[in-house]
Amino acid sequence: MRRLGLLLLLLCAATTTTCAADPPNQKFVVFFGDWSAALDNNAQTVISNAASWVKAHPGNVAHVNGFADPTGSKVANSLLSELRAQVVVDQLQTDGIDPSQIEQRGHGSVQFALTSQESRRVEISISRP
């Protein structure tokens, strides 16, 4: 019985060590104004926090996904979502993130639940490659 308890204790310790080595995925969201790809102070802060998290957890990749609201043409929204993602990628690099740690994609327009602000965003999802 004592051996079983010791075995369980060692197993729990090994599991805890593994979990500590692999932090959970993180997600940061940057919002934009109508037809804009400009970064305001809040956006700068969010991107800075994302960059700090990547630096503190080497080996992770920042997946930068741009979106636009459904107003306007499909082509314009596709280009705008790509531009928003690129602006965020540029800022991540300015904040010291290596380009090899960043993957970028524009998704075009997406529907929203409550307000169009939800759609005018870039999501930075950080995870293991």
Q: Which tens digit of pLDDT belongs to each residue from 74-96?
A: 999 999 999 999 999 999 999 99
Would you list the domain boundaries of the chain?
24-127
Give the Å distances, CA to CA, from 81 to 14, 15, 70: 43, 40, 11
Domain 24-127 carries which CATH code? 3.30.1330.60
Q: Which tens digit of pLDDT belongs to each residue from 102-124?
A: 999 999 999 999 999 999 999 99
pTM over 0.85: no
